[in-house]
Structure 1
Amino acid sequence: MSGGNTLRERPGSYRGLELLPVHLYVLSHLKKAGVDYAKMMAKISELPLSLIEDAVRDLMEAGLIERDSGSAIKRSKARFKKAFEVHKHHTYYRLSREGELFVRRIDEKWLKEYFNSLFPNGWKVIKGLSRSGKFEDLPQEFQREEIQEELLVYRFITPSGRATRFFSFLVEFLGIKTR
């Protein structure tokens, strides 16, 4: 009942929710930050706020994140905050206990299966793009139009082929090693 079997069987879904890279970003962002709000996640990743809000809603419905209660937040709880304590002016979110357990199980093997399920040779493409930062610097075998289209759809690259800020933070937060 913990969702462990779901994780092992299909890396791309969690209890009926098809996990998109934006979902992984929100989960990994909250793991790093402790608590944060949707507008800040959008600002940091340079993704549209509506996309982050949809991901937050999906993850709340799946039980992986929850609202953080209280009227103030200390920096020890919100690690991305600069002030010692801030009063909340937004709805803050954090990983639920279930979300914490799920995120802990995301390892390199899981990520490899996940990205390979998104598109052909996904793991090698992600590693190569995280190393070079440009689609044109990927090995020739990966410079196919369908792979480029997938990378654009998932907002991993810009139309000019450069890695997006979202992609850079996703790779960093997930701990994907470039070597």
Structure 2
Amino acid sequence: MGREHYQKLKLLPIHLYILVHLKKASVDYAKMMARMSKLPLPLIEDAIKDLIEIGLIERDSGSTIKRSRAKFKKAFEVHKHHTYYRLSREGELFVRKINEEWLGEYFNRLIPNGWEVIRILKRVKSFSELPEKFKSDEVKDELVLYHLITPNSKVTKFFRLLCEFLGI
């Protein structure tokens, strides 16, 4: 299933984050995803629209939500004041296929030497701590573009959360 979605949409780290966030949370809303990841809400909302369009996530119906379904909720039951999203059946199947081999191919397509860069970046605090062979302007620009590092080279909260949710 993976490759056909790349033809319709270049799956970006923000898309991947939303998919794995929803896998962990079961259901959640855009504002909470933005708050947790420290990314701008419009960026999350645009990525949600993309994922709905290709059928990987869907709106969750109903007027209340129980903590047993919304894993990140603290209250036992809450009335919905936001639009909640969940993985579609297709999204569930897609997320199940994400393993180390898939991640290696994904990040290598996204960034030059991407999988090595991501695994090293996870262990450091800044782009400047990468080995010299990975510190090209192209790699830095890509990492900034995808919100994995800040313009001043620091690893982002989003990157840390993405790695945690992906089990990297």
The answer to whether the superposition gives a TM-score over 0.5 is yes
The residue number in structure 2 matching 1:51 is 43
User: Distance in 2 between the 1:64 and 1:93 partners?
Assistant: 10
The residue number in structure 1 matching 2:53 is 61
User: Distance in 2 between the 1:120 and 1:144 partners?
Assistant: 9
The SS at the match of 1:70 is: coil
The SS at the match of 1:73 is: strand
Quick check: 1:131 aligned with 2:123?
A: yes
User: Distance in 2 between the 1:31 and 1:104 partners?
Assistant: 9
Find the partner of 1:39 among 6, 25, 31: 31
Deviations 1:141-177 (A, max 9, x none): 111111111111111001221110111111111111x
The SS at the match of 1:156 is: coil
Quick check: 1:175 aligned with 2:159?
A: no
Q: Which amino acid aligns with 1:25?
A: Y
Quick check: 1:78 aligned with 2:70?
A: yes
Find the partner of 1:152 among 144, 148, 162: 144
The SS at the match of 1:101 is: helix
Q: Which amino acid aligns with 1:159?
A: P
What stretches of structure 2 of length at least 5 have no aligned partner?
none
TM-score normalised per structure 2: 0.96
Q: Which amino acid aligns with 2:140?
A: Q
Q: State the Cα distance separating 1:133 from its structure 2 match.
A: 2.3
Q: Which amino acid aligns with 1:148?
A: K
Q: Which amino acid aligns with 1:155?
A: H
Q: Which amino acid aligns with 1:107?
A: N
Q: Which runs of 4+ in 1 moved over 3 A?
A: none
Q: Which amino acid aligns with 1:85?
A: E
Find the partner of 2:17 among 25, 32, 40: 25
TM-score normalised per structure 1: 0.91
Q: Which amino acid aligns with 2:131?
A: P
Tell me how many residue pairs correspond in the alignment. 168
What stretches of structure 1 of length at least 5 have no aligned partner?
none
The SS at the match of 2:158 is: helix
Q: Which amino acid aligns with 1:114?
A: Y
Q: Which amino acid aligns with 2:138?
A: E
Alignment RMSD, CA only?
A: 1.2
